[in-house]
Homo-oligomer: A and B are copies of this chain.
Amino acid sequence: MLNQSSDLDRLFHALADPARRAIVERLSRGPAPVSELARPLPMSLPSAMQHLGVLEAAGLVRSEKIGRVRTCAIEPQALSQAEQWINARRIEWERRLDRLGEYLKTLESEGDDNGPGE
Copies in the complex: 2
Greatest chain B CB density within 10 A among A9, A16, A18, A25 is at A16
Interface majority SS (helix, strand, loop, mixed), chain A: helix
Residue in B closest to A17 when the chains form the complex, CB atoms: B9
Contact B18 A6 (CB under 8 A): yes
How big is chain A's contact interface, by range?
20 to 34
Complex CA gap A8/B30 in Å reads: 23
A89 contacts across to B, CB distance below 8 A: 24-25, 28, 74, 79
A contacts, CB < 8 Å to B: 5-6, 8-9, 11-13, 15-18, 21, 24-25, 28-31, 74, 76, 79-80, 82-83, 85-87, 89-90, 92-93, 96, 118
